């Protein structure tokens, strides 16, 4: 079954670019989805199918996926982007949905 | 506007049972897989269970297999999670979400506390 590995924390200054990674064996061969969760709130889908954005999500949020690493990139980071970010895949071998452990993004 | 509203969370003793409900509106409910996702205090997200749009197939994470059962009523646009033999480690906020490969819509969650 899939195991997704995320760096526990990332820090970035406002206006800079944040890169959040999600590692997994051959993750590039499946679709990866990303969620933002702020304290006390439900998660929000920010990227699906590697690089698509739901309506209402700023273009500053982008994704890529290749080899053993998927990446969520947040450009021109704002204070409001401070949150936990989770990657997720659907494991077709087990019909299970799998989340990464999460990355806490701190805006300095 | 899509709304998912969970209910049923409370404090329950170890070994006890609880049934969570989630009512959906603002979407074509019968085309969506539905899921429960939980989050223990201070921890990450964990997928718990999912059910096919017509209710004919379900999946559960190994740690709840045989104790939890997901079901749905498409006439009521609702999904349920029957939780039996509850343990302290089941303490979490439980979210319902639509889940056609990814979780597009989420409820606000309901808190289940397993404690004596």
> Which of B46, B101, B108 faces A99 most closely, judged by CB atoms?
B46
Disruptive mutation site among B2, B44, B58, B102 for chain A (greatest number of A CBs within 10 Å)? B102
| pLDDT score, position A1 | 66
Q: Within 13 Å and on the Cβ side, how many CA atoms surround B6? A: 27
pLDDT beyond 80 at A2: no
Instruction: For residues A65-85, give the mean pLDDT.
Output: 97
Residue of chain B whose Cα is closest to the Cα of A53? B104
Whether A61 and A76 have beta carbons less than 8 Å apart is answered as no
Name, in order, each residue with C-beta under 8 angstroms of A64's C-beta and a sequence gap of 6 or more. Answer: A50, A51, A70, A71, A73
CA–CA min distance B107, chain A (Å) = 7
Answer whether B101 touches A (CB < 8 Å).
yes
Chain centre to alpha carbon of residue B83: 9
- Nearest 5 degrees, angle CA A26-CA A31-CA A35? 115
Chain centre to alpha carbon of residue A31: 12
Instruction: For residues B72-92, give the mean pLDDT.
Output: 97
Residue of chain B whose Cα is closest to the Cα of A101? B44
Disruptive mutation site among B38, B45, B57, B105 for chain A (greatest number of A CBs within 10 Å)? B45
Instruction: For residues B32-48, give the mean pLDDT.
Output: 97
Instruction: For residues B60-82, give the mean pLDDT.
Output: 96
pLDDT beyond 70 at B52: yes
- A21 - beta bridge partners? A71
Whether B105 and B17 have beta carbons less than 8 Å apart is answered as no
Q: Within 13 Å and on the Cβ side, how many CA atoms surround A49? A: 5
Report the alpha-carbon distance of residue A66 to residue A48 in Å, rounded. Answer: 15
| pLDDT score, position B100 | 86
pLDDT per residue as tens digits for the range B94-114: 999 998 899 999 999 999 999
pLDDT per residue as tens digits for the range A14-67: 999 999 999 999 999 999 999 999 999 999 999 999 999 999 999 999 999 999
| pLDDT score, position B103 | 97
pLDDT per residue as tens digits for the range B19-34: 999 999 999 898 999 9
pLDDT beyond 90 at A7: yes
């Amino acid at each position: 079954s899939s195991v997704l590995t995320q760096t526990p924390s990332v820090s970035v200054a406002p206006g800079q670019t944040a890169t959040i990674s999600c590692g997994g064996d051959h993750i590039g061969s499946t679709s990866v989805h990303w969620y933002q969760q702020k304290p006390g709130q439900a998660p929000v889908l920010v990227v699906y199918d590697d690089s698509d954005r739901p309506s209402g999500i700023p273009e500053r949020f982008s994704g890529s996926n290749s080899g053993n690493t998927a990446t969520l990139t947040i450009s021109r980071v704002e204070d409001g982007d401070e949150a936990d970010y989770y990657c997720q895949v659907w494991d077709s071998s087990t019909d299970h949905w799998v989340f990464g452990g999460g990355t806490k993004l701190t805006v300095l | 506007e899509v709304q998912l509203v969970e209910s049923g969370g409370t404090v329950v003793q170890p070994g006890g049972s609880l049934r969570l409900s989630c009512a959906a509106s603002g979407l074509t409910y019968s085309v969506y897989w539905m899921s429960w996702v939980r989050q223990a205090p201070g921890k990450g997200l964990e997928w718990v269970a999912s059910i096919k749009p017509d209710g004919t197939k379900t999946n559960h994470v190994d740690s709840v297999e045989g104790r939890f059962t997901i079901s749905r009523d498409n006439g009521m646009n609702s999904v349920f999670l029957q939780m039996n033999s509850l343990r302290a480690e089941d303490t979490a906020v439980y979210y319902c979400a639509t889940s056609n490969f990814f979780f597009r819509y989420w409820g606000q969650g309901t808190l289940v506390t397993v404690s004596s």
